[in-house]
Amino acid sequence: MKRLLLLSATTFITVLLLGYTFNKHEVKPLYYISCINTDTKIMIQEDAANPEFAMLHAIPKPFVLQNPIGKTIFFPAKDGINAQGYFIKANNKSNKWLLVIQEWWGLNDYIKKEAETFYNDLDNVNVLALDMYDGKVATTRDSASAYMRNTTTERFENIVKAAITYAGSNAKIYTVGWCFGGGWSLQSTMLAGKQAAGCVMYYGRPETNIERLKTIQCDVIGFFGNLDKGIPSETVDTFEKNMKDAGKTLYLYRYEAGHGFANPSNPVFNKEATEDAYAKAIDFLKKRM
C-alpha cells in the first residue's frame, strides 16, 4: 500500500513539473521570438514568399536596351564568388559612385536603362548597377520569388560590400533602388559607413531598428505610394518617426500611387509621380555631389 501511495505521489509531482515546464516555455513561443528578432534584411527577403506581395508586381513587358553605354564587369567578393554588375565609367577620374539596385526581377534592361538615365543626368559619376541574383533575371513572379528567396542575405551583403571595395576607400557612395532595391538601397548606405554620401529609396522596406538607423552617415530621400499595399502608410509613418528618433535627416515624399508606380511596365505606373520623384532624386544627389 505504501509503495502504491509513493508511486502515485511521484507520478503526481512529475506531472506537475512537466506541466510547469511546458507552460513556462509556452509564454514565449518560437514564432514570437523569431518575429521580434527578425532582421529587416531577412524581412525584405521573406516578402518574396508572400503571395500578396508577388501579386503587386505585374510581369515586366519585354524590353531590350538599345546601344548600351555600359558593360558587365566582375569583381571579387568576400565569400569567394565574384560579384557582377552593369558599369558605366565616369568620363573623367571621379570618386563619386552611384550604386543602382534592382527590383525583385533582377538586373534586367529596365534597370540598366535607369542606370544610364542617372548617369546622363548627373555630373561625372561612376554608375554601377548591382546584379543581386548573380546573372539570373526573372520573367515570372514564381522565378522572381525563387531567386529572391534562394539568395542568402549574406550573399546580398557580400555583393554590396564587394562593390564598395571595388569603388575604393576614397569613394563617395550614393545609392538608389526600387522595391527590393529600395530596401537594399538603405541597407547599402548603412554598409557603406562613413563613405555613404546620399541614399535614394523608392517604396522599399525601411529599417526598423533605431540603433541601426543611427549608424547612417548621410541624408536619405524616400518616395512612397499611399495606395501601396506592400509598404503601407503605417510602415512609412513609423520609418519617419524612427529616423527622427535616430537623429537622421529624411526627406519623405508620398504620392497617390501604388507599389511600383515608377516602373513603366507596371499597370499602376504613375507618370506624374515618377517624373516628380525623379526630379527630386536628381536634385538631392546633385546637391551632395
Tens of each residue's pLDDT in the chain, 289 residues: 444 444 444 444 443 443 433 333 333 332 222 333 468 998 988 888 888 888 989 898 899 999 999 999 999 999 999 999 999 999 999 999 999 999 999 999 999 999 999 999 999 999 999 999 999 999 999 999 999 999 999 999 999 999 999 999 999 999 999 999 999 999 999 999 999 999 999 999 999 999 999 999 999 999 999 999 999 999 999 999 999 999 999 999 999 999 999 999 889 999 999 999 999 999 999 999 9
- Could you tell me the pTM of the whole model? 0.86
- pLDDT at 38 (0 to 100): 61
Q: How far is CA 172 from CA 192, 194, 241, 288, in A?
A: 9, 9, 27, 10
The answer to whether 214 and 189 are in contact (CB under 8 A) is: no
DSSP assigned state of 67: S
Q: What is d(CA 200, CA 244) in angstroms, rounded to the nearest whole number?
A: 17
- pLDDT at 47 (0 to 100): 87
DSSP assigned state of 118: H
- pLDDT at 53 (0 to 100): 87
Q: What is d(CA 129, CA 33) in angstroms, rounded to the nearest whole number?
A: 36
- pLDDT at 278 (0 to 100): 98
Which pLDDT tens digit goes with each residue over 117-174?
A: 999 999 999 999 999 999 999 999 999 999 999 999 999 999 999 999 999 999 999 9
Contacts for 128 with CB less than 8 Å, ≥ 6 apart: 73, 85, 86, 87, 88, 97, 98, 99, 100, 115, 163, 166, 167
Q: Per 3-state DSSP, what percentage of the chain is helix, strand, and coil (rounded to 5)? A: 45, 15, 35
Provide the H-helix boundaries in the chain. 2-26, 30-37, 40-46, 51-54, 109-121, 141-150, 153-167, 180-192, 210-213, 233-245, 271-287
3-class DSSP assignment, residue 83: strand
Q: Largest Cα–Cα distance in the chain?
A: 98
Return the residue matching grid coordinates 543611427: 214
Task: Show the cell assigned to 242.
Answer: 524612427
Length of the chain (residues): 289
